[in-house]
Amino acid sequence: MKHLQVLIRPVITEKATAQEKAGKYLFYVRKDATKIDVRHAFERLYGVKVRSVSMLRTTRKTKIGRARKAVTKRPAFKKAIVTLVEKKEVNILKPKLKK
């Protein structure tokens, strides 16, 4: 799998940005991506060493609106928490594309 295709986009929330100070970065990843794929993709894109990768999956959820007229479905997705070896600031919006 190509390293540009593994990481879909970073998770930008208040909780995720607070974890960046501890050297942890959250990303939405492909559903078929493994920890090894995420590790190699992050190291190649940002040029830093990765200590560990944790993965979590969420299931598809159905929400019913007011008066049961509107039914919306949130898609299932997979996230990865990447922990760096050194607590180093990485600009996750601009990858370096190391080969």
Q: 66 to each of 30, 34, 71, 74, how far by Cα in Å? A: 33, 39, 9, 17
> In what helix (H) or strand (E) does residue 44 lie, and over which residues does it extend?
helix 35-46
Give per-residue pLDDT as tens, 12-32: 999 999 998 889 999 999 999
pLDDT band at 89 (very low <50, low <70, confident <90, very high): confident
Which residues, including other chains, have CB under 8 Å from residue 55's CB and lie 6 or more apart?
A: 29, 35, 38, 78, 79, 80, 81
**For the chain, which domains are there?**
3-61 (3.30.70.330)
pTM of the predicted protein model: 0.82
At 6, list the tokens: 């593994």
pLDDT in the model for residue 63: 85
